[in-house]
Structure 1
Amino acid sequence: MNNGQSLLKIAVIYDGSFFWRISNYYRFTHERQSHLNISALHNYLRHHISALEKDGISTLCQISEAHFFRGRFSLKAVQTTRDPLKQLETDRFQDQVLMWAGVVAHYQPMNEAASPPEERGVDISLALETYDLTVNRQFDVVVLFTGAADFSPLVRKLQSLGTRVMVPVFDLPNYAKTSQRLLEEATYSLPLSEMIDGVVDDEYEDMMGDIFR
Structure 2
Amino acid sequence: MQSSKSVLNIAVIYDGSFFWRISNYYRFSHDRQSHLNISALHNYLRHQIAALETDGRVTQCQIAEAHFFRGRFSLKAVQNTRDPLKQLETDRFQDQVLMWAGVVAHYQPMNEAVSPPEEKGVDINLALETYDLAIHKQFDVVVLFSGASDFAPLVRKLQSKGVRVLVPSFDLPNYAKTSQRLVEEAAYHLPFSDLIDGIQEDDCADLLDDLFR
| TM norm structure 1 | 0.97
Secondary structure, counterpart of 1:183 in structure 2: helix
Distance 1:22 1:135 in 2: 29
Secondary structure, counterpart of 1:47 in structure 2: helix
> Given the alignment of the two structures, is residue 197 of structure 1 paired with residue 202 of structure 2, yes or no?
no
> Given the alignment of the two structures, is residue 153 of structure 1 paired with residue 168 of structure 2, yes or no?
no
Alignment RMSD, CA only?
Answer: 0.8
Residue ranges of structure 2 left out of the alignment (5+ in a row): none
> Given the alignment of the two structures, is residue 126 of structure 1 paired with residue 126 of structure 2, yes or no?
yes
> Given the alignment of the two structures, is residue 210 of structure 1 paired with residue 210 of structure 2, yes or no?
yes
Question: Offset at 1:41?
Answer: 0.3
Q: Find runs of 4+ consecutive structure 1 residues off by over 6 angstroms.
A: none
Query: % of aligned pairs identical?
Result: 79
Distance 2:57 2:162 in 1: 21
Distance 2:209 2:189 in 1: 20
> Given the alignment of the two structures, is residue 47 of structure 1 paired with residue 29 of structure 2, yes or no?
no
Aligned length: 210
> Given the alignment of the two structures, is residue 182 of structure 1 paired with residue 182 of structure 2, yes or no?
yes
Distance 1:5 1:89 in 2: 43
Distance 2:107 2:192 in 1: 26
Question: Offset at 1:212?
Answer: 1.1
Aligned twin of 2:108:
108
Deviates more, 1:13-22 or 1:197-206: 197-206
Question: Offset at 1:5?
Answer: 4.5
Distance 1:177 1:106 in 2: 23
Aligned twin of 1:36:
36
Residue ranges of structure 1 left out of the alignment (5+ in a row): none
Aligned twin of 1:67:
67
Distance 1:143 1:117 in 2: 28
Distance 1:79 1:173 in 2: 32
Aligned twin of 2:14:
14
1:159-178 pair list within 5 angstroms: 159-178=159-178
Distance 2:120 2:51 in 1: 38
**Residue-by-residue CA offset, 1:111-134 (whole Å, 9 max, x unaligned):** 001100000000000000000001
Question: Offset at 1:149?
Answer: 0.2
**Residue-by-residue CA offset, 1:100-157 (whole Å, 9 max, x unaligned):** 0000000000000110000000000000000000110010000000000000000001
Distance 2:206 2:47 in 1: 12
Distance 1:153 1:168 in 2: 17
